[in-house]
Amino acid sequence: MNAEAHRPDTLMIRKLQSIFPLSADERQALRELPVRVVHLEPDRPIVQIGDRPHQCCLVLDGFSCVFKLSYEGRRQIMALHVPGDIPDLQSLHLAVMDSSLASLSRCTVGLIQHDDLRRACERHPRLTAAFWRETLVDASIFREWLLNIGQRNAYTRMAHLLCELLVRLEAVGLVEGNAFELPITQEELGDAIGISAVHVSRTLQALRADGLVESRKTRFAVLDRERLKQAGEFDPLYLHLQERTA
Amino acid sequence: MNAEAHRPDTLMIRKLQSIFPLSADERQALRELPVRVVHLEPDRPIVQIGDRPHQCCLVLDGFSCVFKLSYEGRRQIMALHVPGDIPDLQSLHLAVMDSSLASLSRCTVGLIQHDDLRRACERHPRLTAAFWRETLVDASIFREWLLNIGQRNAYTRMAHLLCELLVRLEAVGLVEGNAFELPITQEELGDAIGISAVHVSRTLQALRADGLVESRKTRFAVLDRERLKQAGEFDPLYLHLQERTA
DNA sequence: CGCAGGATTGACTGTTGTCAAGCTTGGTGG
DNA sequence: CCACCAAGCTTGACAACAGTCAATCCTGCG
């Protein structure tokens, strides 16, 4: 990624603009937000369930996830975050974290104080709408994941997840051709779609055998977008991109 | 339910207050919202995926749900709504519905125009925060359901769902002793926790055999709250009730 | 009384999980 | 420079939870 894209404000603005039009004024207010940049190794906690954070986390580079553990220690990943996402924006209005947030890959994040965000929202009321909207899109993604995990088989789930990542990464300019980096393990992929690591391996092999994707190391290439969408029952409606508020 | 509880404003206020403290002024503004009351038979559509609604739906009596269908026609219920809930509050900021909303039981709902809600929020900015918070609690419930469906077995899932309903119905005064009405079919219960109707039957039998619940017709009684919570790995943290925003 | 929708039961199937072993690969240090 | 190690991936055998199908039973309602 180039230096410009690494600038916290640029990424956040790009992401917000993908779901909500911003004025020059509003963009300026976002650029002026004080951001503390932090680099993280893989699998590092960022915020834990039960915490009462006073700041939000903006993903700048790499991947993070929100997850919870069952009593038997099984992990469900509720969300994967791509650069530009604000995974714990909810903490602005929910005092206590109901899930944990951690880095998956090596990761750069920007920390923004709640107070600063609240001040920006007061001065620019449409920013409130923009941030609210972002949390609503997150909720929409949770709903789609519920459908994915609750009603679809492993093959379809995996195809769906890859379609979603392709679209979301494209929105922030992280897809080259049809390929993207996804530096997470098969176990983590499995925790995201509710299947075991062993079955992830088999499922990816099936997708490769069917000529839908290619994957070497952490690089995934989508060979046939249309067929992958079909296989994953993927309709990007739920991402609410570029929606006219008509 | 008595006449007072049936009044749209009373219920909504009670529900909002369970997650957010409201001033007398703010309560008054809610009472003044124009509400169109509608009665629905079971299984009637309220809003459909793809729609662009200009109003929100407040559940006054009975149960509704948000759901989507997979390509093979399997239905995932993403949320069950109890009286006081506003299932499609998201439509205030997301133009297009990403899931469908329908009645499950016979049902009374109140329809409130977006314009009226927006005006109330402009005049009483803390109402914006209250409504935003309600959508965030919904999102938190989606996350918990992801954990439930993705990582827990049928027995635990069912116990968890019953615990959640007990707590949410209690918050709006719809639990007598340890019992509540849940006038939905086993098939619908199954669609909510991602198991087949046949397996719902077996699972409820197991819960009854273990002395955790009793169910006759549509009436469910929790016989041992503590053991049911344990069985369902239930921790009400994610419902964000009565949270101090300290 | 008969019907329809829902619940239950039993038999069988199948997708996915678990376990354990072997393989690949990248990194480290002698 | 190469041997070794650890993490992650792959493979095969087997087990198990849950799905499907079909028959039967309830029960409320017309």
Is the CB of A54 inside 8 Å of chain B's CB atoms?
A: no
Q: In chain C, which nucleotides are within 7 Å of a protein Cβ?
A: 5-11, 15-20, 26
Interface of A with B in 144-173 (CB under 8 A): 144-147, 149-152, 156
| Strand C contact with B196 (CB < 7 A) | no
Could you tell me the CA-to-CA distances from A173 to A166, A169, A170, B40 in Å, in that order?
A: 10, 6, 5, 46
Nearest-CA neighbor of A127 among B30, B139, B93? Answer: B93
Residue with tokens 């700048």: A60
> Do A46 and A92 share a domain, yes or no?
yes
Q: How confident is the model at residue A244 (pLDDT cuts 50, 70, 90)?
A: low
Task: Kindly state the average pLDDT of the residues B50-58.
Answer: 98
Q: How confident is the model at residue A4 (pLDDT cuts 50, 70, 90)?
A: low
Q: Last residue of some domain: B135, B158, B180?
A: B135
- Whether A104 and A80 have beta carbons less than 8 Å apart is answered as yes
Residue A47 in any domain: the answer is: yes
> Do A200 and A92 share a domain, yes or no?
no
Give the pLDDT of residue B10.
81
DSSP B91: G
Q: What are phi and psi of B123, to 5 degrees?
A: -75, -30
A70–B147: do the CB atoms touch at under 8 Å? yes
B94–A244: do the CB atoms touch at under 8 Å? no
What rounded mean pLDDT belongs to chain A?
Answer: 94
> Do B107 and B41 share a domain, yes or no?
yes
DSSP B195: -
Q: What is the distance between the alpha carbons of residues B50 and B71, in angstroms, rounded to a whole number?
A: 16
Give the pLDDT of residue B223.
97
Pick out residues whose CB falls under 7 Å from strand D: A 185-187, 197-198, 201-202, 204-205; B 153-155, 194-196, 198-199, 217
- Whether B175 and B169 have beta carbons less than 8 Å apart is answered as yes
Give the pLDDT of residue B245.
56
Residue B77 in any domain: the answer is: yes
Nearest-CA neighbor of B182 among B64, B18, B5, B15? Answer: B64
Give the pLDDT of residue B216.
86
| Residue B190 CB contacts under 8 Å (≥ 6 apart), including other chains | B196, B197, B199, B200
> Do A169 and A214 share a domain, yes or no?
yes
Chain A neighbors of B153, CB-CB under 8 A: none
Give the pLDDT of residue A9.
73
Residue A245 in any domain: the answer is: no
Residues in chain A: 246
Chain B neighbors of A142, CB-CB under 8 A: 139, 142-143, 146
Which of A94, A96, A160, A243 is best to mutate for the B interface (most B CBs within 10 A)? A94
Q: Last residue of some domain: B135, B163, B192?
A: B135
B226 C-beta neighbours (distance < 10 Å), count: 9
> Do A31 and A119 share a domain, yes or no?
yes
Q: How confident is the model at residue A243 (pLDDT cuts 50, 70, 90)?
A: confident
The residue type of B214 is E
Could you tell me the CA-to-CA distances from A38 to A58, A92, A117, B29, B163 in Å, in that order?
A: 10, 20, 18, 44, 40
Residue with tokens 């051709």: A177
A240–B66: do the CB atoms touch at under 8 Å? no
Considering only residues A80 and B6, tell me which one the structure prediction assigns the higher pLDDT: A80
Domain count, chain A: 2
Give the residue with minimal CA–C1' separation from C25: A217
CA B196 to C1' C16 (Å) is 16
SS3 letters for A185-239? Answer: CHHHHHHHHCCCHHHHHHHHHHHHHCCCEEEECCEEEECCHHHHHHHCCCCHHHH
- Whether A68 and B143 have beta carbons less than 8 Å apart is answered as yes
Chain B neighbors of A71, CB-CB under 8 A: 233
| Residue B130 CB contacts under 8 Å (≥ 6 apart), including other chains | B16, B19, B20, B22, B26
B98 C-beta neighbours (distance < 10 Å), count: 24
> Do B163 and B127 share a domain, yes or no?
no
B143–A140: do the CB atoms touch at under 8 Å? no
> Do B103 and B68 share a domain, yes or no?
yes
Task: Kindly state the average pLDDT of the residues B136-142.
Answer: 98
SS3 state of residue B4 = helix
Report the CATH number at residue A200. 1.10.10.10
Please give the sequence-ordered ranges of beta strands (E in DSSP) within chain B, or none if there are none.
36-40, 45-47, 55-61, 64-69, 75-81, 100-103, 107-113, 179-181, 213-216, 219-222
> Do B161 and B79 share a domain, yes or no?
no
Which of A143, A160, A188 is best to mutate for the B interface (most B CBs within 10 A)? A143
Please give the sequence-ordered ranges of beta strands (E in DSSP) within B136-201, or none if there are none.
179-181
> Do B118 and B171 share a domain, yes or no?
no
pLDDT (tens digit per residue) in A90-124: 999 999 999 999 999 999 999 999 999 999 999 99
Q: How confident is the model at residue A14 (pLDDT cuts 50, 70, 90)?
A: confident
Q: How confident is the model at residue A2 (pLDDT cuts 50, 70, 90)?
A: very low
Residue A199 in any domain: the answer is: yes
Give the residue with minimal CA–C1' separation from D12: A198
Nearest-CA neighbor of A183 among A146, A220, A158? Answer: A220
Q: What is the distance between the alpha carbons of residues B120 and B116, in angstroms, rounded to a whole number?
A: 6
For A141, what's the count of Cα atoms within 13 Å in the CB-facing half-sphere? 26
> Do A11 and A131 share a domain, yes or no?
yes
Token pair, residue B151, equals 């990582």
pLDDT (tens digit per residue) in A193-224: 999 999 999 999 999 999 999 998 899 999 99
B244 pLDDT exceeds 90?
no
Give the pLDDT of residue A90.
98
Q: Last residue of some domain: B87, B110, B135?
A: B135
- Region of A168 on the Ramachandran plot (φ > 0 left; ψ -120 to 50 alpha; else beta): alpha
Q: What is the pTM of this model?
A: 0.96
The residue type of B230 is Q
Q: What is the distance between the alpha carbons of residues B90 and A240, in angstroms, rounded to a whole number?
A: 12
DSSP A39: E
Cross-strand bridge partners of residue B77: B67
pLDDT (tens digit per residue) in A17-69: 888 999 999 999 999 999 999 999 999 999 999 999 999 999 999 999 999 99
Q: What is the distance between the alpha carbons of residues B55 and B36, in angstroms, rounded to a whole number?
A: 10
Chain A neighbors of B147, CB-CB under 8 A: 68, 70, 76, 78
Q: What are phi and psi of B86, to 5 degrees?
A: -120, 90
Nearest-by-Cβ selection for A150 from B52, B137, B149:
B149
| Residue B189 CB contacts under 8 Å (≥ 6 apart), including other chains | B158, B161, B200
Residue B110 in any domain: the answer is: yes
| Residue span of the structural domain in which B162 resides | 148-239
Please give the sequence-ordered ranges of beta strands (E in DSSP) within B168-229, or none if there are none.
179-181, 213-216, 219-222
Report the CATH number at residue B11. 2.60.120.10
Token pair, residue A90, equals 């909810």
Is the CB of B38 inside 8 Å of chain A's CB atoms?
A: no
Q: How confident is the model at residue A3 (pLDDT cuts 50, 70, 90)?
A: very low
B140–A94: do the CB atoms touch at under 8 Å? yes
Q: How confident is the model at residue A157 (pLDDT cuts 50, 70, 90)?
A: very high
Chain A neighbors of B96, CB-CB under 8 A: 237, 240, 243
Helices (H), A20-153: 24-31, 114-123, 125-151
Query: How many Cβ pairs within 8 Å bridge chains A and B?
Result: 141
Task: Kindly state the average pLDDT of the residues B194-205.
Answer: 98
Q: What is the distance between the alpha carbons of residues B72 and B74, in angstroms, rounded to a whole number?
A: 6
Interface of A with B in 2-31 (CB under 8 A): none
Residue B244 in any domain: the answer is: no
Q: How far is B52 from chain A (nearest CA, A)?
A: 9
> Do A127 and A13 share a domain, yes or no?
yes
> Do B101 and B37 share a domain, yes or no?
yes
What rounded mean pLDDT belongs to chain B?
Answer: 94
